[in-house]
Chains A and B, each alone.
Chain A
Amino acid sequence: MIRFEQVTKRYGRHDAPALAELDLTLCTGELTVLVGPSGCGKTTTLRLINRLEEASAGRIIIDDMPIDDLDVIDLRRGIGYVMQHSGLFPHRTVAENIAVVPRLLGWKRARIRARVDELITLVGLDTGLAGRYPHQLSGGQQQRVGVARALAADPPILLMDEPFAAVDPIVRTRLQDELRSLQARLQKTIVFVTHDIDEAIRLGDRIAIFAEGGRLAQYAPPTDVLAAPADDFVADFLGADRDLKRLALFSAADASAMSPSPVADPGTTDIRAIAQAAGVNWVFWRDADGAPSGWQYLDETAPQAVGTVIGPADSLRKALGAILQSPLGAVPRVDAQGRLDGVLDRAALAAVLA
């Protein structure tokens, strides 16, 4: 747990504070995203944790220990740090870069070598890259090495300062996905700074939104922030497509399907009754195994191909896209076994957001 108590940071004695009386508790094992416009104090907040900056007032406590009571070198060796431009040491190979902290800690040679190999694989790199120098790597590879270096001595805390901002969007999305799966396995306490609200929502267990002048505007899980922005600043920062972003955080399994759903099983003769019960003029057909096999208007004689099917893990944002494309304004949802278990329409999604 990392606790900020009334922390203020001023750079010049008479300047406006970069961070004003911050109270914030970051939970152990969670990924907390600090997000906000430039100059809002989010990077300062991050750098206060490993004392790259010193607080002007207030104190920061890690697991009941005020960080000012710790030796700054020991503190930093116990906290991983990843930055925007990898910050890799250009004169050292990939393996040597990853080995920096273990070597400082005096690990045995064999242990270091084993750890380096383990980490290179963990961050999704080829072990053949171990002897390369940073300038021989792509931007995405450099960031992976940066992450591996930060994780080398298995620190419980990982600080990430806009780590994916300088890589192209496709690589960024992949790195974000990998960070999420890495975090699911490692359960580190991660503090992640970004100015990209979509990245914050994708990655954060909780997000802390900072406003200009170093004011913490809201601190909550992404779904709560999107559902109930604390003030106009947060609402503006989230953007006009706030509800779309919220939909992306729900899976199809979270939505209640149409009730009753217009679904006909093999052998059904009166599809009109089923459709009318649901208030529509069409039905979906289910085959003998329960899988969706097609759909049919009441005044037509043959079913049509089923089209897009939404699985239980698909996001509701994807479901909305499929609903907009369907002539029926509805999509079939299947369960994990592929059996049609309901039909989602616009109202079903709106109910989730309500």
Chain B
Amino acid sequence: MKTAIRGVMLVAGCLFASRALAIGLDADGFGVVDQVVQWFADPTQWTGDNGLPHRIAQHLYYVAVSMAVAVSIALPVGIGLGHWGRGGLIAINLSNMGRAVPSFGLVILMFLLVGIGFLPVLVALVALAIPPMVTNSYVGMQAVDPSVRTAARALGLSGWQQLWQIELPIALPLVMAGVRTAAVQVLSTATLAAYVGLGGLGRYLIDGLAQQQLAQVVGGAIVVAVLAVLLEIGLGTLQKALTSPGLAR
């Protein structure tokens, strides 16, 4: 429910901002809102390489690949540190320092280093996604009641059984919270891909600004916002399905 409300507010905010922009930028009195509606209504918008379906697919592809890489790095690290209870502070501080690095700067830096392509964007998105997932999964594992761990050992569960059957299922809500945060951040930041010549929904923002077509900018932003809300709701539903009712308070 909370995510739905957040989504509605986000969309409303975008509309409000576009209204405000319309007053300043639109000389002939033709409201930006109407332009945006037209932009969405234009049939050519829904086909071809610059059409919405293709751009959305590209965008989601960047997000999916980045998240897959980030999850396979961050979750083992965070879960492992939480399970063994060692080096957690160092890892969390390192990944928090990572948070301070601006994604835009990282994209440009990587672009200069490795040139054009998906790699610079991938590195930036992965770097963005790792900190919340490491921190949350570490904290989630650490929060498992020590008496539950002792009980699992004493009953004769092996190390892996303790991890998979007891600790991970109990830590799951916090681990998933980290994944959700990271995924939404990655989804909105993946617009940067367009800066280095790639596609995705960022194209509308970059091209729209370059061509001074405000409707395109606002339209692209709305699509990103709606996708973010849907992703958050989808992951929330997944989390709920995976979490034992015994953990609900």
Closest-CB distance, A44 to chain B (whole angstroms): 14
- Whether A91 and B169, one on each chain, are in contact in the complex, defined by CB atoms closer than 8 angstroms, is yes
Closest-CB distance, B152 to chain A (whole angstroms): 7
- Whether A52 and B147, one on each chain, are in contact in the complex, defined by CB atoms closer than 8 angstroms, is no
Residue in A closest to B151 when the chains form the complex, CB atoms: A87
- Whether A85 and B147, one on each chain, are in contact in the complex, defined by CB atoms closer than 8 angstroms, is yes
Whether, in the assembled complex, B94 has its beta carbon less than 8 Å from a beta carbon of chain A, the answer is no
Q: Which residues of A contact B246 (CB under 8 A)?
A: 90-93, 133-135
Residue in A closest to B144 when the chains form the complex, CB atoms: A90
**In the complex, which range does the number of interface residues on chain B fall in?**
20 to 34
Q: Which of B1-9, B132-140, B155-163 contacts A (4 or more CB under 8 A)?
A: B155-163
- Whether A83 and B151, one on each chain, are in contact in the complex, defined by CB atoms closer than 8 angstroms, is yes
- Whether A101 and B150, one on each chain, are in contact in the complex, defined by CB atoms closer than 8 angstroms, is no
Closest-CB distance, A150 to chain B (whole angstroms): 8
Closest-CB distance, A129 to chain B (whole angstroms): 13
Whether, in the assembled complex, A89 has its beta carbon less than 8 Å from a beta carbon of chain B, the answer is yes
Closest-CB distance, A122 to chain B (whole angstroms): 18
A52 touches which of B150, B166, B249 (Cβ 8 Å): B150
Q: Which residues of A contact B175 (CB under 8 A)?
A: none
Q: Which residues of A contact B247 (CB under 8 A)?
A: 90-91
B154 touches which of A76, A91, A104 (Cβ 8 Å): A76
Closest-CB distance, A202 to chain B (whole angstroms): 25
Whether, in the assembled complex, A73 has its beta carbon less than 8 Å from a beta carbon of chain B, the answer is yes
Interface string of A157-195 (1 = CB under 8 A from B): 001000000000000000000000000000000000000
Closest-CB distance, B52 to chain A (whole angstroms): 42
Q: Which residues of A contact B244 (CB under 8 A)?
A: 90-92, 133
Residue in B closest to A47 when the chains form the complex, CB atoms: B154
Q: Determine the distance from Cα of A237 to Cα of B16 in the docked complex, in whole angstroms.
A: 76
Closest-CB distance, B28 to chain A (whole angstroms): 62
**In the complex, which range does the number of interface residues on chain A fall in?**
20 to 34
Closest-CB distance, A219 to chain B (whole angstroms): 24
Q: Determine the distance from Cα of A147 to Cα of B98 in the docked complex, in whole angstroms.
A: 48
Q: Which residues of A contact B157 (CB under 8 A)?
A: 73, 100, 104
B249 touches which of A50, A76, A135, A149 (Cβ 8 Å): A135
Q: Which residues of A contact B170 (CB under 8 A)?
A: 89-91
- Whether B154 and A50, one on each chain, are in contact in the complex, defined by CB atoms closer than 8 angstroms, is yes
- Whether A74 and B166, one on each chain, are in contact in the complex, defined by CB atoms closer than 8 angstroms, is no
- Whether B156 and A87, one on each chain, are in contact in the complex, defined by CB atoms closer than 8 angstroms, is no
Whether, in the assembled complex, A284 has its beta carbon less than 8 Å from a beta carbon of chain B, the answer is no
- Whether A89 and B148, one on each chain, are in contact in the complex, defined by CB atoms closer than 8 angstroms, is yes
Q: Which residues of A contact B29 (CB under 8 A)?
A: none
Whether, in the assembled complex, A4 has its beta carbon less than 8 Å from a beta carbon of chain B, the answer is no
CB contacts under 8 Å to B, within A32-59, are: 50, 52
Closest-CB distance, B170 to chain A (whole angstroms): 6
Whether, in the assembled complex, B24 has its beta carbon less than 8 Å from a beta carbon of chain A, the answer is no
**Extra 15 A-B pairs, beta carbons < 8 Å, given A87-B147, A92-B244:** A73-B158, A75-B156, A76-B156, A87-B151, A89-B152, A89-B166, A89-B170, A90-B148, A91-B169, A91-B170, A91-B243, A91-B247, A104-B157, A133-B244, A135-B249
**Could you list 23 examples of A-B contacts with CB < 8 Å?**
A52-B150, A52-B154, A74-B156, A76-B154, A77-B156, A81-B154, A84-B147, A87-B145, A87-B148, A87-B151, A88-B148, A90-B145, A90-B148, A90-B244, A91-B243, A92-B244, A92-B246, A104-B155, A133-B245, A133-B246, A134-B246, A135-B249, A159-B154
Q: Which residues of B contact A (CB under 8 A)?
A: 145, 147-148, 150-158, 161, 166, 169-170, 243-247, 249
Q: Which residues of A contact B (CB under 8 A)?
A: 50, 52, 73-78, 81, 83-93, 100-101, 104, 133-135, 149, 159
